[in-house]
Amino acid sequence: MTKDPDHLDFDGLRPPCPGLDEAHVAWREQLRSFVDTHITPSIDDWNAAATFPDELYTQAADAGLLGFGFPAEFGGWQDEPDLYHRILFAEEFHRLGSGVVFADLATHWIALPPVVKHGSAELQETVTRPVLAGEKRMAFAITEPGGGSDVARMTTTAAKNGSGYRVNGTKTLISGALRADYLLIVARTGDAGLGGLSLLLVDANSFGVRMEAVPGLTWYSASNGTIYFDNVDVPADRLIGAEGTAFKSLAGQFNIERFSGVGATLAMARVATADAIAWARERETFGKRLVDHQRIRHVLIDMIRTINTGYAYLDQCVWRFNRGEVPIADLSMLKVQATRTLEFCAREAMQILGGEAYRGNRRVQRIQREARIFSLGGGTEEILNDLAARQLGF
């Protein structure tokens, strides 16, 4: 289908997708209505503060956004969502060119499923239901200061201690940590390697838990934190699943997280490209519009081409997952492709806008500021390329 040159905006830059049906269209409209009503009017203030008010959680729950992917009996959906529901969520929440809301609001996607699957009836009532209602918040703590993506070398320990476990160690760069009521942590309960890692649910206000904001390069969330565990006692019934099964329990969640990350990165690439196109049509230099310069036209075409390539790869991976395949190599390469697309589009958009990019609160400067974290979070390029190579047998 030929794109209408007058509609190369955020929506017009998403290629047609055979996997989206009427239910997905309705879901997108529901998401967009929520974002336009509850987020858009305040996004500039929230970006400046690097946070948002807690009431947004209950508003999102009331709108049916927090519960999708979780059982109806705990406040989730009646119908099972698919991957495109998650991708569309990520797209719409990054349409404003900002990640200040998404990471904190959606962190329960990866933190809560193990509790739903393995937790006791008591935990379902005290943790699952309040989190899905937006009344409590949850964070997932895996990254360590010295470990990064090397999960097998994790050093936080959970030693048996009578009626439970005693946790010691440090986690860092944890999304939503400073506003969390519960922490799902990965800790070492056994020998070295992935087989010695277990999942524990820790109350964030437990004695011995200390948190602080991560200083340094400004990112999108002030609640991104470092967590210190100093002889923290965790009851035995807060072991989520069997000992030594943390990585097995989370493998599927990591795949889902990558699909969401790809949706976010390609959406932000579309935002940057749409803003670059709009400015190139408006701005005049040397007696003609920017878009009338051949070099600028070629750059814009390169940006659109890379976005279309990313979506074609994404749709292929979704199709294969829906068929029951788990194409780890392709999903790893897709994530790298998407983040490189975002970085390319963000850089070129900044170049096209020039000094205008730094005036006011242009979306492209937000995207440029946030782009690099997507190539690090959820597995670095090096880790994912190596994983793909092993999957392909070399």
Q: Are residues 251 and 386 in the same domain?
A: yes
Q: Which two tokens stand for residue 15?
A: 């290629």
* CATH code of the domain covering residue 338: 1.20.140.10
Residue ranges in the chain whose pLDDT is less than 70: 1-6, 148-149, 216-220
Query: Could you tell me if 374 and 290 lie in one domain?
Result: yes
Torsion, Cα 238 244 245 247, to 10 degrees, reads: 110
Residue with tokens 């999960």: 151
Report d(CA 241, CA 2) in Å as an integer: 51
Q: How far is CA 118 from CA 85, 181, 198, 272, in A?
A: 24, 19, 13, 42
Same domain, 60 and 84: yes
Structural domain span for residue 258: 247-391
Domain CATH code at residue 92: 1.10.540.10
Phi, psi of 112 (to 5 degrees): -85, -35
Spatial contact of 89 and 31, defined as CB atoms under 8 Å apart: yes
Full-model pTM = 0.92
Residue of 184, 262, 172 lying closest to 210 (CA atoms)? 172
Whether 199 and 286 map to the same domain: the answer is no
State the total domains in the chain.
Answer: 3
Same domain, 81 and 9: yes
Q: Which of 201, 112, 200, 193 is nearest to 151 (CA)?
A: 193
Q: Please, what is the Cα angle at 241 between 245 and 170, to 5 degrees?
A: 70
Query: Which of 82, 115, 132 corresponds to the end of one domain?
Result: 132
Last residue of a domain, one of 219, 244, 269: 244
> Are 116 and 156 in a shared domain?
no
Residues 102 and 148 in one domain: no
pLDDT digits 0-9 by tens, 143-156: 898 876 677 788 99
Longest dimension (CA), the chain: 79
| 252 and 335 part of one domain | yes
Quick one: 27 and 114 in the same domain? yes
- For 3-14, what is each residue's pLDDT tens digit? 555 579 999 999
Give the end of a domain, one of 115, 132, 149. Answer: 132
Do residues 265 and 238 both lie within one domain? no
What's the pLDDT score for residue 148?
66
Point out which residues pair with 202 in neighbouring strands.
Answer: 183
* CATH code, domain carrying 195: 2.40.110.10
Judged on CB neighbours under 10 Å (0-12, 13-18, 19+), 222 is: middle
Three-class DSSP category at 285: strand
- Give the pLDDT confidence score for residue 220 in this predicted structure: 64
Q: From CA 378, how far away is CA 110, in angstroms rounded?
A: 11
Together in a domain, 307 and 355 = yes
Q: Is residue 381 domain-shared with residue 261, that is, in the same domain?
A: yes
